[in-house]
Structure 1
Amino acid sequence: MRINKYIAGAGYASRRKADELIQAGKVKVNGLTMNEPGYDVVTCDVVEVEGHKLEASEKKVYFAMNKPIGVITSVTDDKGRLTVVDLLTDVEERVFPVGRLDYNTSGLLFLTNDGDFAYKLTHPKNRVDKVYRVRIAGNISKEKIGKLRHGVDIGGFVTSRARVDLVEGTRRSNVLEVTIHEGKNRQIRRMFEAVGYGVEELERISIGNIKLGHLKPGQYRKLTQSEIEYLMDM
């Protein structure tokens, strides 16, 4: 089994994150630092990641969380800040976040120990729709909404077409819902910066047809079997 898939299958990280760990020299096989991302793990191999020996795969678990503002989307943080994993107070399995929400962004986030599930949802080819509710200062024009819909340059990358709907608007602020399938770093904020607006509040309210619902900030729930199957089949 390819080493990134092995690491993901052990519930340590997604395949993409596993590749980053390999490139950073944080993966060892039989005591030797692994620098071959294409290495195939065999039964007798001992694989360590960041000093942790990987054991047999745990039971797969899947959670939806309302990530609060001021929490890091990570398993650990070298600055000692609170992470989304810290909020899972009654979860015994080791899990990791699927994708990322910025420190100052709230909303729907999945956590799991299933690397294949994470891969399905984060790989660009799968084009999973994500809906964000955005509050900006000021009153945005139809022309600038049109630019957002058709794609804008956010610094060396032109975004794909997006759905952008004005939900409520006053002279002082506007609330919009934006649907994208990409996941570039700070993409929504950079899109609005590209048309001259700063984002005051940003919340992800759905991924595919899974909605944030009534989860309060910091709360989480298990995904249902039908939700898991839907997301895996997208």
Structure 2
Amino acid sequence: MSDNRLPEEGDRIAKLLARAGVASRREIERMIAEGRVALNGKVLDTPAVKLDNLNGVTVDGKPVGKAQETRLFAFHKPAGMLTTEYDPKGRTTIYDALRNALPKDAGRVMPVGRLDYNTEGLLLLTNDGEVKRAMELPATGVPRTYRARAFGDVTQAQLDELIEGVEIDGIRYGQIEANLERGSGRNRWIEMTLREGKNREVRRVLEHLGLEVNRLLRIGYGPFHIGDLPRGRATEIKRGDVEAFKRELARGFRK
């Protein structure tokens, strides 16, 4: 007698597909709801299916390769470039640069979070949708560090108050560590570390303090830093460092 029951051991299918670089776990759950994922020809209607491997799994009718080891790349995104695969207006995207910047065997990679069109600096890319999602979640508390050049008057005392967070136009921004770099004049550099990464957070917080941001760079994301990586270039992060980071990510960065 045949047994058509689905397996009850292994990892959830969304987790395996995310590890295979198909998409983030949340996106995969949406794809399952849309009837785009099948197992041995049977369209799945739940993300609760558990599997040991991806044998027999198809997405949009195409077989999925086995889950790959997590790879992580650091890319120095220049200003004037969109963090997207395609722009209907024909503007330059990160993938235009990544075609030459990434190694030929990089496969499909996804950006971890986004950098605005005019924001430059460190952009991490991975083939692991599960890691991507975990790094982006505000609840995980992965620190992001920026340097902002801003025009206007501000004191260190004002910046120190951001450690308690701030509410702007009904949106609550959590703890921010901000330091005014030495210098004179009304164009000053400010280094800021935050753990939520809400849309345009750095610009909105500094504008709230009466400053005009005229240059913004992300220099760190978690334990990874841009260092002297040239603009428009990418480098792969060592596998040992990636595995150590995944263990730290699983524990959570918030203390």
The TM-score by the shorter chain falls in which range?
0.7 to 0.9
Identity of aligned residues (%): 35
Mapped contact 1:105–1:202 kept (Cα < 8 A): yes
One-letter amino acid of the counterpart of residue 125, structure 1: A
Mapped contact 2:175–2:195 kept (Cα < 8 A): no
Q: Which residue of 2 aligns with 1:8?
A: 18
Q: Which residue of 2 aligns with 1:220?
A: 234
Q: CA RMSD in A?
A: 2.8
Q: Which residue of 1 aligns with 2:75?
A: 65
Mapped contact 1:72–1:102 kept (Cα < 8 A): yes
Does the alignment pair 1:74 with 2:88?
A: no
TM-score normalised over the length of structure 2: 0.77
User: Based on CA coordinates, which of the two structures has the bigger radius of gyration?
Assistant: 2
User: How big is the shift at 1:121?
Assistant: 1.8
Classify the secondary structure of the residue corresponding to 1:101. Answer: coil
Q: Which residue of 1 aligns with 2:112?
A: 98
Q: Which residue of 2 aligns with 1:47?
A: 58
Distance 1:108 1:135 in 2: 16
- Relative to structure 1, the CA distance from residue 59 to residue 82 in structure 2 (aligned partners, 3 Å threshold; closer, same or farther) is farther
One-letter amino acid of the counterpart of residue 201, structure 2: Q
Aligned length: 231
- Relative to structure 1, the CA distance from residue 143 to residue 186 in structure 2 (aligned partners, 3 Å threshold; closer, same or farther) is same
Distance 1:169 1:15 in 2: 45
Which ranges of structure 2 fall in alignment gaps of 5 or more residues? 1-10, 249-255
One-letter amino acid of the counterpart of residue 111, structure 2: P
- The aligned runs of 1:137-148 (5 Å cut-off) are 137-148=151-162
User: How big is the shift at 1:177?
Assistant: 0.2
Mapped contact 1:11–1:113 kept (Cα < 8 A): yes
Deviations 1:98-149 (A, max 9, x none): 1111111111111111223323322223211111001111121345313333
- Relative to structure 1, the CA distance from residue 102 to residue 18 in structure 2 (aligned partners, 3 Å threshold; closer, same or farther) is farther
- Relative to structure 1, the CA distance from residue 114 to residue 174 in structure 2 (aligned partners, 3 Å threshold; closer, same or farther) is same
TM-score normalised over the length of structure 1: 0.83
Distance 1:58 1:226 in 2: 15
Distance 2:84 2:43 in 1: 24
Classify the secondary structure of the residue corresponding to 2:169. Answer: coil
User: How big is the shift at 1:32?
Assistant: 8.6
Distance 2:72 2:205 in 1: 31
Mapped contact 1:139–1:170 kept (Cα < 8 A): no
Classify the secondary structure of the residue corresponding to 2:182. Answer: strand
One-letter amino acid of the counterpart of residue 104, structure 2: V
Distance 2:162 2:55 in 1: 53
Distance 1:78 1:22 in 2: 27
- Relative to structure 1, the CA distance from residue 44 to residue 210 in structure 2 (aligned partners, 3 Å threshold; closer, same or farther) is closer
Which ranges of structure 1 fall in alignment gaps of 5 or more residues? none
